[in-house]
Amino acid sequence: MLRAQYATRGPVPSAAIDAVEFTLPPLTEGQALIQVLAAPINPSDVLTLTGEYGMLPPLPAIGGSEGVGKVAALGPNTTSPAVGTTILLPVGLGSWSTHLVAEAKKLMPLPGNADPLQLSMLTVNPPTALLMLRDFVKLEPGDWVIQNGANSAVGGYLNQIAKLKDYRTVSVVRRESAVDGVKAEGGDIVVVDGPDLPKRVAAATDKAKIKLAIDCVAGSSTDRLAACVAEGATVVNYGRMSGEPCQVSPGNFVFKDVTLRGFWLVFWFRKSTPQDQMAVFGECAQLIASGKLSARVQATFDVRDIKAAVTLAASGERAGKVLIVPKV
């Protein structure tokens, strides 16, 4: 058995993490042994390794916050989920591992015929996209949404979900090479960010009244989105790819009455009911299983190659997700 473990944090995310061998004690009642099938490396995982994320586990820690696995064995007097069942890993157990132990009653069964690589990304990015479209502004079919960082995994999910709900989208990217990939994922209008973004968006949408903007870049990009939306619209920030604080000018804050909100999935987990969580995960799981929702995968790595995997995931020119797919 192998897992990716780190005992320090620092500016180079791959520096402190290593694949280490481990053994597990015998299972006790109510426990399940899980064979990990796949686990993604998210931006939040990279920030956790550098110490910049909003919530950091105590050290030493095992990398990875989500993933999908298969029940390999059950503890005494434990009957479900049945051995062989594909399950969603509980959040925060350290998913960059060949195996882990979890409470059997907390395991959510998933469609066994679905692609495990796609299912492994279910916990974080699809709910983030769905909830930002659902919980801040009441959108109707035909309404417009604008987002930046649209070539990210969340951006891809957001465009796909918006299309399923008949919303129209403006997708903003930071380089020309990202345009075609975003269009392939369902983006209606795809533009490269720049100082004249509001003018180009107005022309492309025939001056549509955009109610909702989704921002993962921050910095001056936040203000450019605010300049694109209608009076009284809402801008939701969920990241800072620029490394800078959100900037919104008085012209947009005061004279357009734009509202700036933040979204962090951790808070939703804390505040939502188990029923709402099951409904959201159930909806996303069915969309993934049916092939209506997916993310591009650039590369997969074994646990023993964790340093190379994290290095690639932390780079800025990727065209898809980096996944840990353990070889057992």
- For the chain, the structural domain boundaries read 2-121+295-324, 125-266
Q: Which residues have CB under 8 Å from 317's CB, separation 6+?
A: none
Tokens of 224: 């450019």
**pLDDT of 119:** 96
**6 is an active site residue:** no
Q: Is the dihedral of CA 112, 158, 54, 64 positive or negative?
A: positive
How far is the C-alpha of 237 from the C-alpha of 222, rounded, in Å? Answer: 8
Q: Residue 103: what pLDDT?
A: 96
Q: Please provide residue 289's backbone torsions phi and psi, each rounded to the nearest 5 degrees.
A: -65, -30
- Write down the architecture of domain 125-266 according to CATH: 3-Layer(aba) Sandwich (3.40)
- pTM attached to this predicted model: 0.90
CATH class held by domain 2-121+295-324: alpha beta
Same fold, 2-121+295-324 and 125-266: no
| Per annotation, catalytic residue among 6, 53, 157, 167 | 53
Contact 295, 154 (CB under 8 A): no
CA dist 301 and 219 (Å) reads: 33
pLDDT at 316: 72
Tell me, what's the pLDDT at 124?
Answer: 94
Angle 160-162-163 from CA coordinates, rounded to 5°: 65
Write down the pLDDT at residue 92: 85
The per-residue pLDDT string of the chain (328 residues; one tens digit each, 9 = 90 and over) reads 999 999 999 999 999 999 999 999 999 999 999 999 999 999 999 999 999 998 899 999 999 999 999 999 999 999 999 999 999 999 889 999 999 999 999 899 998 889 999 999 999 999 999 999 999 999 999 999 999 999 999 999 999 999 999 999 999 999 999 999 999 989 999 999 999 999 999 999 999 999 999 999 999 999 999 999 999 999 999 998 898 999 999 999 999 999 999 999 999 999 999 899 999 999 999 999 999 999 999 999 999 999 999 999 998 777 789 999 999 7
Cα distance between residue 120 and residue 126, in whole Å: 11
